[in-house]
Amino acid sequence: MALVVMKFGGSSVADATKIKLVASRVIEKKKAGNKVVVVVSAPGDTTDDLLSMAENITSNPPERELDMLLATGEMISISLLAMAINSMGQKAISLTGPQAGIVAGTNYTRARVKKVNPNKIKSMLAKDNIVIVAGFQALNAKGDITTLGRGGSDLTAVVLAAGLQADFCEIYSDVEGVFTTDPRLVTDARKIEYISYDEMLELAGSGAQVLQSRSIEVAKKFGVQIYAKSTFSQNQGTIITSEENIRRRKMEALLVSGIAFDKNQVKFTIIDLPDIPGVAAKVFSKLAKVGVNVDMIIQSAAVNKKNDISFTVSKQEMKKTQIELDKLAQELNASEVVCDEHVAKVSVVGIGMKSHAGVAGKMFEVLHKKGINIEMISTSEIKISCIVDERDLRTAVDELHKGFGLSRKNRSLYEKI
Ligand code: ADP
Ligand code: ASP
Ligand code: MG
């Protein structure tokens, strides 16, 4: 008898009809002879709605209370799904994250999972229950309910799969798996059969929201193979696994596996900073202190002992960043702080880059041919990202998708890995 963790995202439990469909898929899995643990997200846009409710009260809610509020979203889904399954004649029981034994550190809103105590789940499974667990939430070290960051139900599914040593971890959403780019933007995007943890991590970290990046980190650490599938079709999805596993199958891989994009970016530039040691340290340590996550950074060459530093942050952190930079600019005698909200990041990702040169050149060439200006560049071993004007994003994604041979019609750039 296999143990399966099945996770259903918000779009899969958005209304009563969808919840009943999920219930029947879960029952199907149980009737096939498996023990089943189900993780669910809050229905539809509930988490966003809860955030707006908090914003209507105050722009700066205490994080403890925000987590208390956000955790209610997932509790709607677990109870309704348990009711649906029970009404279809199978035994099901719902558990909150804390009841399920998911334990986190001291932080709120972006807590890290420390351990899983799976005893309660195991005893419920032994009594022939389908166990339904609220995603995105845990018990923190202060005994409070806490949340695991946006998209955190994926992480709940992976930590449970690791903690229970499940045979399968299936993550269901409204798309059939991981595609070469967001299939909602590019209709020509192709489903990827297998993708390595590292590539998925880079895609997710660069804006592909289909899987949460921290869930992939944990999956890689504990060797949890993920099956990404659609709730609404029976087609095979994408397997996220180790690079070694992919190589062992001697499969072909594309030089570039996918294109990700992120519209949630803001670019700041501090102009005329003094070109002396310690200035960058001062700016970025101050930002880190107030909890701003800086993404891309560039520093211009010094002219007359002055230079400019540009960097990007997420839109949610714009206000906080602006306040700190205004103070820093005065303190450091810089002439101006400029904020550009109309930027986006486009990234190409592929393990083929490890062994093949020329991907960066090709990316810049494709953008240049369409007259798209590159404002910033960053690279990792398997990723190249560029900041462009948000009005150019659509063209950039389309052209890079075609240019790297990812569209269904054009698969010319295959390489053996
Ligand atoms: P869920 O609510 O089930 O957690 P999400 O909305 O978080 O689902 O993730 C699924 C969405 O991710 C899809 O609807 C799709 O628009 C988006 N997406 C972005 N990039 C990709 C990609 N490369 N492959 C598949 N889906 C992607
Ligand atoms: N409901 C949470 C969110 O919207 C967690 C999740 O969906 O995975 O981010
Ligand atoms: Mg999600």
Helix/strand/coil (H/E/C) assignment for every residue in 75-114:
HHHHHHHHHHHHHCCCCEEEECCCCCCEEECCCCCECCEE
Q: List, as one string, the DSSP characters of 365-408.
A: HHHHHTTPPP-EEEEETTEEEEEEEGGGHHHHHHHHHHHTT-ST
- In sequence order, the 6+-apart residues with CB closer than 8 A to the CB of 199 are 257, 258, 349, 350, 351, 382
Q: What is the pLDDT of residue 251?
A: 57
Contact 181, 189 (CB under 8 A): yes
Contact 191, 179 (CB under 8 A): yes
Which residue did the predictor score with more confidence, 67 or 351?
Answer: 67
What are the tens digits of pLDDT across the range 212-254?
999 999 999 999 999 999 999 999 999 999 998 887 775 556 6
In CATH, which superfamily holds the domain spanning 3-174? Answer: Acetylglutamate kinase-like (3.40.1160.10)
Tell me which ligand sits closest to the C-alpha of residue 177.
1
Q: List residues bridging with 380 in a β-sheet.
A: 383
Q: State whether the Cα torsion 312-264-145-62 is positive or negative.
A: positive
Q: Determine the residue of 13, 38, 41, 74 to mutate for testing ligand 2's pocket, defined as the one with the most ligand atoms within 8 A of the Cβ atom.
A: 41
Tell me which ligand sits closest to the C-alpha of residue 77.
2
Between CA 206 and CA 359 the distance in angstroms is 17
Torsion angle defined by CA atoms of residues 327, 263, 354 and 195, in that order, rounded to the nearest 10 degrees: 130
Q: Determine the residue of 8, 45, 47, 174 to mutate for testing ligand 2's pocket, defined as the one with the most ligand atoms within 8 A of the Cβ atom.
A: 47
Band of the pLDDT at 284, cuts 50, 70, 90? very high
Q: What is the pLDDT of residue 253?
A: 61
Q: Which residues line ligand 1 (CB under 6 A)?
A: 9-12, 41, 151, 173-175, 178-179, 181-184, 208-210, 258
Averaged pLDDT, 288-308:
90
Mean pLDDT of the chain: 94
The distance from CA 32 to its chain's CA centroid, rounded to whole angstroms, is 31
Output the residue whose Cα is nearest ligand 1's atom 21. Answer: 182
Which of 3.30.2130.10, 3.20.20.60, 3.40.50.300, 3.30.930.10 is the CATH number of 259-403?
3.30.2130.10
Tell me which ligand sits closest to the C-alpha of residue 232.
1
Output the residue whose Cα is nearest ligand 2's atom 4. Answer: 47
Q: Which amino acid is at 368?
A: H
How far is the centre of ligand 1, averaged over its atoms, from the C-alpha of 415 (Å)? 27
The domains spanning 3-174 and 259-403 adopt the same CATH topology: no
What are the tens digits of pLDDT across the range 305-353?
999 999 999 998 999 999 999 999 999 999 999 999 999 999 999 988 8
- The tally of CA atoms less than 13 A away on the side-chain side of residue 74 is 33
Output the residue whose Cα is nearest ligand 1's atom 25. Answer: 178
- In sequence order, the 6+-apart residues with CB closer than 8 A to the CB of 254 are 350, 352, 404, 405, 406, 411, 413, 414, 415
Contact 41, 78 (CB under 8 A): no
Output the residue whose Cα is nearest ligand 1's atom 10. Answer: 210
How far is the centre of ligand 2, averaged over its atoms, from the C-alpha of 135 (Å)? 8
Between CA 37 and CA 187 the distance in angstroms is 33
Q: What is the pLDDT of residue 413?
A: 43
Band of the pLDDT at 106, cuts 50, 70, 90? confident
Contact 243, 200 (CB under 8 A): no
C-alpha distances out from residue 17 to 12, 78, 232, Å: 10, 15, 12
Band of the pLDDT at 409, cuts 50, 70, 90? low
Band of the pLDDT at 408, cuts 50, 70, 90? confident
Q: List, as one string, the DSSP characters of 241-299.
A: E-HHHHHHTT-EEESS-EEEEEEEEEEEEEEEEE-STTHHHHHHHHHHHTT-----EEE
Pocket of ligand 2 contains residue 42 by CB under 6 Å = yes
C-alpha distances out from residue 404 to 193, 237, 349, Å: 18, 22, 11
Take residue 217 and report the two structure tokens written for it. 């980190």
Take residue 259 and report the two structure tokens written for it. 């294109």
What are the tens digits of pLDDT across the range 18-62?
999 999 999 999 999 999 999 999 999 999 999 999 999 998 899
Averaged pLDDT, 290-306:
90
Q: What is the pLDDT of residue 393?
A: 97
How far is the centre of ligand 2, averaged over its atoms, from the C-alpha of 214 (Å)? 13
Output the residue whose Cα is nearest ligand 2's atom 5. Answer: 151
Q: What phi and psi, each to the nearest 5 degrees, are found at residue 180?
A: -65, -20
Terminus-to-terminus CA distance in the chain, angstroms?
Answer: 36
